[in-house]
């Protein structure tokens, strides 16, 4: 009897190609949509998380102006001086390194390739403070800093855009109007989340001041990066820095700070809460896709009921028992749902794998969502494939035959 | 084969009733039918539409449940059987032909005819052979692979006949089998039924409202308002 049920079920599946296809399609779309969305969301989450950790977790950034973001007015607010940097390095307890940062946008040219990119002038501490790894060549050193040598270190995006497959080490690129020798290449930090961190050129601060900008004022450091020693308290340290800088900038007790100290840990926490929102959003999208997919499955199953009820009537009238008919329909529904679900999973895997590669996200396989999507869609397929059959098989054959 | 020669009763009804619906909306289709049909009979059941003739046929074929009365089929009290037991009775003793053929769509003639054998548990090889034989005997040996959509009404009805008799049932129920057919195919189908009755001794119950179809039978029962109006034996005139 079970063998017969399988034989009949598979025969019906093969015979009714349109119905089979539509039913399976509902399940395929349901499963693949949900799995793709959630998997891509997960990959984006992972990418953001990776970016945060690549920032260097115990890093303080000091900027002029009060508040967060690019809209904060810094007009009339003094920048920092080289002496500020030195004194922070000497007087603040618990810091591992401190580096001045000045960034300016330049057109950079190598042969026929050009790119507008942020050029950062800084000291040799900068690389360690910001977790930059050297991929090739060397970083600039104290001697380069002292002399203001025309050397630069390229981020991975700049290297790719200007040089393609050629070897950049030792080549001369033009930053603005100044030729600069490429001495080192930075390892990629990856992109997404915070924008492309690899789109950068780093030069000695003195080089930026003397050669590129062509002016050397003392108040020209736009940002100070401070890395903390392992185990030191970022809040206490930033309070110390704040006190020191207020003093150096002659702020009266009733005056507000005209600079800000950012703790990247705080930025990480902020991003973390955005991730939580993103996760919730993704779950909602997944739930909606599951419901939409489920309704699609129901529709197709219910549309087939009339024809199938007659079929049940025919089978009953020629001597099939209700159990035999039910078993056949159950096998059909389970087979269709499972095969559809598996195809959906495979499609989702292919799509997310491809998209992750295209968008430079890392592919993260999430077994949980695969199981949930498969289970849910298959359950709907089975329930709605089987329930009408159950109703029909309980009828007197004449009522099933009469069904219009 | 005349009914007088064989007096083994196949079907015995006593006070069979059928009521559709409940309460005020209830409709009594059969008001108490007493009837005996013997082995080998070819019976036509006639009557105007709404008279209850199809209801009677469905009850006799165990396709529907009676509301009251007693139905004895070869010694089995049908009114006491469950849906499943009635399925098994149909499987082993009955064959059906319908006005609308009721073949499975998109399914070849051979597979349609095989189906009752499959439920009987006949092996694959025997199924093929018996089904092919049955189709051959209704003159469709060349249409084994055709689906219902590829066949004319008369051909479809002959597939249905092959399916009904492939299990060698003792009784064949035909509900307006020629209702959708033209006069030439009607004759072909009726001659086929007559042949089955004569050569294989299959008891045939036929519902029709056409006199010339009923004329193929030995016995015509007229139903009116849920009761038997007349019941007479006659010589088949058309065969």
**Tens of pLDDT, residues B20-61:** 988 888 999 999 999 999 999 999 999 998 899 999 999 999
Closest chain B residue to A312, measured at CA: B104
The reply to whether residue B87 touches residue A307, judged by beta carbons under 8 angstroms, is: no
Please name which of A46, A50, A51, A33 lies closest in space to residue A356, comparing C-alpha atoms.
A46
Identify the pLDDT of residue B123.
Answer: 93
* Cβ–Cβ < 8 Å for A257, A251: yes
For chain A positions 285-314, those within 8 Å of chain B (CB to CB) are 307, 310-311, 313-314
Mean pLDDT check: name the lowest of A83-92, B38-47, B184-193: A83-92
Res A87 pLDDT > 50: yes
Quickly name the fold that domain B40-65+83-233 has. Answer: Rossmann fold (3.40.50)
Give residue A4's pLDDT band: very low, low, confident or very high (50, 70, 90).
confident
* Partner-chain residue, chosen from A314, A319, A396, that has the shortest CB–CB distance to B104: A314
CA-based nearest distance A347→chain B, Å: 30
CB pairs under 8 A between A and B: 73
Classify burial at B92, counting beta carbons within 10 Å of its beta carbon; exposed 0-12, middle 13-18, buried 19 or more.
middle
pLDDT in tens, A259-275: 888 887 777 777 778 87
CA-based nearest distance B16→chain A, Å: 17
Res A345 pLDDT > 90: yes
Identify the pLDDT of residue B239.
Answer: 46
CA-based nearest distance A393→chain B, Å: 10
Q: For a pLDDT cut of 70, what percent of chain B falls above it?
A: 97
Q: Please calculate the CA angle A31-A34-A37 and round it to the nearest 5 degrees.
A: 140
- Contacting A with CB below 8 Å, chain B residues are 58, 61, 63-65, 83-84, 87-88, 90-92, 94-96, 98, 102-107, 111, 115-116, 118-121, 163-164, 167
pLDDT in tens, A126-173: 998 888 889 999 999 989 999 989 999 999 989 998 998 889 999 999
Mean pLDDT check: name the lowest of A37-41, A346-350, B136-140, B157-161: A37-41
Mean pLDDT value of segment B64-83: 94
CA-based nearest distance B36→chain A, Å: 23
DSSP letter for B46, please.
Answer: E
Identify the pLDDT of residue B94.
Answer: 96
CA distance B51 to B36: 19
The reply to whether residue A318 touches residue B116, judged by beta carbons under 8 angstroms, is: yes
* Partner-chain residue, chosen from B58, B92, B118, that has the shortest CB–CB distance to A398: B58
CA-based nearest distance B220→chain A, Å: 24
The b-or-e profile of A359-395 (16+ CB within 10 A means b, else e) is: eebebbeeeebbebbbebbbebbbbbbbbbbeebbeb
Identify the pLDDT of residue A73.
Answer: 57
Res A254 pLDDT > 70: yes
Identify the pLDDT of residue A129.
Answer: 87
Summary mean pLDDT of chain A? 84
Summary mean pLDDT of chain B? 92
**A315 and chain B in contact, CB less than 8 A:** yes
The reply to whether residue A318 touches residue B65, judged by beta carbons under 8 angstroms, is: no
The reply to whether residue B84 touches residue A401, judged by beta carbons under 8 angstroms, is: no
Strands A223-228 and A95-110, by their bridges, are: antiparallel
Secondary structure class of A122 (helix, strand, coil) = strand
CA-based nearest distance A1→chain B, Å: 8
Identify the pLDDT of residue B24.
Answer: 86
Contacts of A8 in chain B (CB under 8 A): 118
Mean pLDDT value of segment A312-326: 92
The reply to whether residue B87 touches residue A311, judged by beta carbons under 8 angstroms, is: no
Q: For an interface test with A, which of B85, B104, B161 has the most A Cβ atoms less than 10 Å from its Cβ?
A: B104
Beta bridge partners of A212: none
The reply to whether residue B102 touches residue A310, judged by beta carbons under 8 angstroms, is: yes
CA-based nearest distance A377→chain B, Å: 28
Give residue A69's pLDDT band: very low, low, confident or very high (50, 70, 90).
low
The reply to whether residue B90 touches residue A317, judged by beta carbons under 8 angstroms, is: yes
Beta bridge partners of B227: B224
Identify the pLDDT of residue A314.
Answer: 93
Instruction: Concatenate the DSSP letters of all residues of A59-70 into one string.
Output: EEEEEESSSSST
CA-based nearest distance B119→chain A, Å: 6
Give residue B115's pLDDT band: very low, low, confident or very high (50, 70, 90).
very high
Contacts of A312 in chain B (CB under 8 A): none
Res A195 pLDDT > 90: no
Res A7 pLDDT > 90: no
- Other CB atoms closer than 10 Å to residue A327's CB: what's the count? 20
* Partner-chain residue, chosen from A307, A318, A323, that has the shortest CB–CB distance to B163: A318
Please name which of B113, B115, B100 lies closest in space to residue B145, comparing C-alpha atoms.
B113
Give residue B5's pLDDT band: very low, low, confident or very high (50, 70, 90).
low
Identify the pLDDT of residue B3.
Answer: 47
Res B149 pLDDT > 70: yes
CA distances in angstroms from B53 to A404, B48, B205, B206, B209, listed in the order given: 21, 8, 11, 10, 10
**A11 and chain B in contact, CB less than 8 A:** yes
pLDDT in tens, A176-185: 889 999 999 9
Identify the pLDDT of residue B7.
Answer: 80
Res A96 pLDDT > 70: yes
Identify the pLDDT of residue B130.
Answer: 96
Contacts of B107 in chain A (CB under 8 A): 11, 15
Identify the pLDDT of residue A256.
Answer: 85
Q: Where are the domains of chain A?
A: 2-52+270-402, 78-257
Mean pLDDT value of segment B135-152: 94
Q: At what angle do helices A2-15 and A17-54 cross, to 10 degrees?
A: 90
pLDDT in tens, B198-210: 999 999 999 999 9
Res B1 pLDDT > 50: no
The reply to whether residue B102 touches residue A401, judged by beta carbons under 8 angstroms, is: yes
* Cβ–Cβ < 8 Å for A106, A175: yes
The reply to whether residue B83 touches residue A396, judged by beta carbons under 8 angstroms, is: yes
For chain A positions 339-398, those within 8 Å of chain B (CB to CB) are 394, 396-398
* Cβ–Cβ < 8 Å for A240, A228: no
CA distance A282 to A292: 15
Half-sphere exposure of A305 (CA within 13 A, CB side): 19
CA-based nearest distance A7→chain B, Å: 10
Residue that the structure tokens 């997919």 belong to: A293
Identify the pLDDT of residue B238.
Answer: 55
**A320 and chain B in contact, CB less than 8 A:** yes
Q: For an interface test with B, which of A2, A306, A319, A391 has the most B Cβ atoms less than 10 Å from its Cβ?
A: A319
CA distances in angstroms from A146 to A141, A149, B146, B213, listed in the order given: 9, 8, 94, 118
Identify the pLDDT of residue A217.
Answer: 64
* Partner-chain residue, chosen from B58, B107, B115, that has the shortest CB–CB distance to A318: B115
Mean pLDDT value of segment A358-385: 84
The reply to whether residue A320 touches residue B119, judged by beta carbons under 8 angstroms, is: yes
* Cβ–Cβ < 8 Å for A225, A192: no
Closest chain B residue to A397, measured at CA: B63
CA distance B153 to B45: 23
| Sequence-distant (≥ 6) Cβ neighbours of residue B1 within 8 angstroms | B40, B197, B198, B201
**A319 and chain B in contact, CB less than 8 A:** yes
pLDDT in tens, B116-127: 999 999 999 999
CA-based nearest distance A22→chain B, Å: 17
The reply to whether residue A396 touches residue B103, judged by beta carbons under 8 angstroms, is: no
Region label for A60, one of left (φ > 0), alpha (ψ between -120 and 50) or beta (otherwise): beta
Mean pLDDT check: name the lowest of A57-71, A226-240, A286-300, B173-187: A57-71
């Amino acid at each position: 009897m079970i063998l017969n049920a399988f034989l009949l079920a598979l025969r019906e599946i093969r015979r009714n190609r349109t119905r089979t296809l539509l039913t399976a399609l509902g399940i395929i779309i349901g499963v693949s949509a949900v799995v793709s969305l959630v998997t891509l969301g997960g990959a984006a989450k992972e990418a953001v998380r990776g970016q945060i950790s690549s920032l260097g977790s115990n890093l303080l950034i000091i900027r002029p102006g009060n508040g967060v973001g690019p809209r904060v007015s810094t007009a009339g607010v003094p920048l920092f001086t080289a002496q500020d940097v030195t004194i922070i390095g000497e007087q603040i307890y618990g810091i591992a390194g401190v580096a001045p940062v000045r960034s300016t946008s330049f057109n950079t040219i190598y042969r026929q390739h050009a790119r507008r990119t942020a050029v950062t002038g800084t000291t040799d501490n900068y690389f360690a403070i910001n977790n930059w790894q050297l991929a090739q060549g060397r970083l600039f050193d104290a001697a380069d800093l002292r002399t203001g040598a025309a050397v630069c270190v390229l981020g991975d995006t700049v290297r790719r855009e200007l040089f393609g497959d050629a070897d950049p080490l030792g080549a001369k690129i033009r930053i603005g109007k100044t030729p600069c020798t490429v001495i080192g290449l930075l390892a990629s930090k990856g992109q997404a989340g915070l924008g492309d961190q690899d789109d950068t050129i780093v030069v000695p601060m003195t080089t930026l001041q003397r050669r590129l900008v062509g002016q050397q004022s003392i108040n020209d450091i736009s940002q100070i990066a401070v890395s903390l020693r392992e185990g030191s308290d970022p809040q206490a340290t930033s309070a110390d820095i704040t006190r020191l800088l207020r003093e150096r900038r002659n702020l009266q007790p009733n005056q507000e700070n005209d600079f800000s100290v950012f703790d990247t840990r705080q930025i990480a926490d902020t991003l973390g809460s955005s991730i939580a929102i993103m996760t919730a959003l993704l779950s909602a999208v997944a739930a909606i896709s599951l419901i939409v997919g489920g309704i699609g499955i129901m529709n197709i199953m219910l549309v087939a009921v009339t024809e199938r009820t007659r079929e049940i009537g025919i089978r009953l009238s020629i001597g099939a028992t209700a159990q035999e008919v039910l078993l056949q329909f159950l096998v059909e529904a389970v087979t269709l749902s499972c095969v559809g679900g598996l195809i959906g999973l495979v499609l989702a895997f292919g799509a997310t794998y491809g998209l992750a590669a295209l968008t430079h996200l890392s592919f993260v396989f999430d077994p949980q969502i695969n199981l949930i999507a498969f289970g849910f869609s298959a359950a709907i397929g089975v329930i709605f494939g089987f329930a009408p059959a159950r109703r029909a098989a309980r009828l007197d054959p004449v009522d099933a035959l009469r069904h219009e | 084969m005349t009914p007088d020669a064989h007096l083994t009763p196949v079907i015995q009804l006593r006070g069979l009733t059928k009521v559709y619906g409940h309460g005020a909306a209830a409709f009594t289709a059969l008001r108490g039918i007493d009837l005996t049909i013997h082995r080998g009979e070819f019976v036509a059941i006639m009557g105007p539409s709404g008279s209850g003739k199809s209801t009677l046929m469905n009850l006799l074929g165990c396709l529907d449940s009676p509301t009251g009365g007693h139905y004895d089929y070869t010694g089995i009290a049908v009114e006491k059987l469950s849906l499943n037991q009635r399925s098994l009775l149909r499987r082993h003793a009955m064959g059906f032909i319908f006005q609308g053929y009721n073949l499975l769509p998109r399914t070849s003639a051979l597979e349609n005819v095989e189906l009752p054998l499959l439920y009987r548990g006949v092996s694959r090889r025997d199924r093929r052979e018996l089904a092919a034989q049955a189709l051959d005997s209704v003159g469709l040996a060349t249409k084994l692979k055709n689906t219902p959509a590829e066949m004319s009404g008369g051909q479809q009805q002959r597939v249905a006949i092959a399916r009904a008799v492939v299990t060698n049932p003792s009784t064949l129920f035909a509900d307006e089998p020629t209702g959708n057919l033209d006069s030439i195919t009607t004759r072909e189908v009726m001659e086929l039924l007559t042949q089955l009755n004569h050569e294989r001794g299959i008891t045939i119950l036929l519902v029709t409202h056409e006199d010339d179809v009923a004329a193929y039978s030995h016995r015509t029962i007229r139903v009116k308002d849920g009761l038997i109006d007349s019941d007479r034996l006659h010589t088949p005139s058309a065969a």
